Chains A and B, each alone.
Chain A
Amino acid sequence: MIPAPFSYHRPKTVSEAATLLAQFGDDGRLLAGGQSLIPMMKLRLATPEHVIDLAGLDDLRTIERTDNTLIIGALTTQAELATSNVVADALPIVREASLLVADPQVRYVGTLGGNLANGDPGNDMPAVMMCLNAAFRLVSQGGTRSVKARDFYQGTYVTALKPDEILTAIEIPLPPGGHGFAYEKLKRKIGDYATAAAGVVLTARDGRITTCAITLSNLADKALFAKDAVAAVVGSALDKVALEAAAKAARAIMSPASDARGTAEYRTFVGGVMVERALQRAFARAKN
């Protein structure tokens, strides 16, 4: 109910934030929107001695479009993603997924960076960013490095982020105009985490799929890239055989928890259904 006591810090620059994070080590936690961290602190599942509030870092709120990438600052909120014309035009799957995250209040405050850096297998944006082959910019006192989303997630709350690093920006190569996309999320009620969710981005030509990415949310201890499911559909006209093969291949890599959202068997079954629906919607949207 009431978080444990902590010291509060509000750095004015990324550099200052990185210095503080290095100084506090395991005793420090970064605070972005707080819509994941604060609930954990209220349950005392997280009890950092030092909280480093990133809210003063306005540099991390921008959305910048270059010729072939979109660079989104980590502090961009879900609401900003959902209402940005730039995002709607260049990355419609991001807009679609952001509207499926939590509820309006949480979206006003919760950030893209927080949703990505936490390593919570229930979050939606990891699978979306893996689908888009995004790269994460990680900054520490020692410098900056880039890690692809597809290499970032290792397990429940375990990622490639080092303890002294801050995820500052997400760089996303732009899918070609006319690409097909869909984020299909099954949930118990609006605002819930996924019972099972699948993201698809694809291109098509002459009625056949030419490129494809398929990712899965909350169907394992981390977001998954379903490469065998992709192989099952590339080159096809997404006929019934290809669809079923994709669902089967995706199911083979799922290992969801049995919990209040369903048994592992149920979630694996509907996970395959989400893959099929996402593929169908994406294919229907693709211009070829």
Chain B
Amino acid sequence: MAKSHVKMNINGRDVESLVEPRTLLIHFLREQLDLTGAHIGCDTTHCGACTIDLNGKSVKSCTMFAVQAEGAKITTIEGMANADGSLHALQEGFRMMHGLQCGYCTPGMIMRAHRLLQENPNPSDEEIRFGISGNLCRCTGYQNIVKAIQYAAAKLSGAAHVEAAQ
């Protein structure tokens, strides 16, 4: 079947390719662009492991066709670290607060948290939990994920971070 031409900006780089219309954005990212940070964790749009940031929105890339992302500005987990290789505050937070075990949900969690902190730079624990309700984790029980996001929120807003006393 005839392929469609798509152009987007991903992690600051312009990208062009040919895709079948039915190619999901997650497959385009993973298989055509080798951006394997976004994961496929379900078949039902529930888990959020595929979450990326597209035109200022958190989007489940498994539930969008690549052709719908024509002209979009996308950030994936691969685009989060700083140019000098130092970690984004969220990546540092997940490391410092042990916000992951197997790591499968983590890229999606970080990409969602990234947008959440733009929406609400100083969220309460409850606001974080509501804010990441589209991202499932089978390992951690979410407690340290919340702490990781709080760590990043504090760091990004310039406050001196306080190491969790627990």
Residues of A that sit less than 8 Å from B by CB: 1-8, 10, 31, 34-35, 38-39, 41-43, 51, 53, 55, 79, 102-106, 108-109, 190-191
Would A51 and B21 count as touching, CB distance under 8 A? Answer: yes
Given contacts A104-B112, A105-B60, A105-B112, contact A7 B133 (CB under 8 A): no
Among B57, B58, B64, B133, point to the contact of A191 (Cβ < 8 A): B133
Q: Which 10 A-B pairs have the closest CB atoms?
A: A103-B134, A8-B21, A108-B57, A105-B134, A3-B22, A105-B60, A190-B133, A105-B58, A38-B63, A103-B133
Provide the bound-state CA to CA distance between A31 and B67, in Å.
Answer: 12
A-B pair count, CB < 8 Å, reads 85
Contact between A8 and B130, CB atoms less than 8 A apart? no
Q: Give the interface SS of chain B, mostly helix, strand, loop or mixed.
A: mixed
Residues of B within 8 A of A (CB): 1-2, 4, 20-22, 24, 27, 43-46, 48, 51, 57-60, 62-65, 67-68, 112, 115-116, 130-134
Return chain A residues, CB-CB under 8 Å to B22: 2-6, 41
Checking A6, A8, A105 against B59 with a beta-carbon cut-off of 8 angstroms, the contacting residue is A105
Give Cα distance in the complex from A20 to B35, angstroms: 35
Chain A's closest residue to B108 (CB) is: A105
- State which of B46, B68, B134 has its C-beta within 8 Å of the C-beta of A104: B134
B45 and A8 contact, CB distance less than 8 A: no
Contact call A104/B64, Cβ cutoff below 8 A: no
What are 23 A-B interface contacts by the 8 Å CB criterion?
Answer: A1-B43, A2-B22, A3-B24, A5-B21, A6-B22, A8-B67, A31-B68, A34-B64, A35-B63, A38-B24, A38-B63, A39-B44, A42-B62, A51-B21, A51-B65, A53-B67, A103-B133, A104-B112, A104-B115, A104-B131, A105-B51, A106-B60, A190-B130
CB neighbours (8 Å) of B132 from chain A are 104
CA distance A109 to B130 in the complex (A): 17
Distance between Cα atoms of A35 and B67 in the complex (Å): 15
In the complex, what's the smallest C-beta–C-beta distance from B44 to chain A, in angstroms?
Answer: 6
Q: Which residues of A contact B45 (CB under 8 A)?
A: 35, 38-39, 106
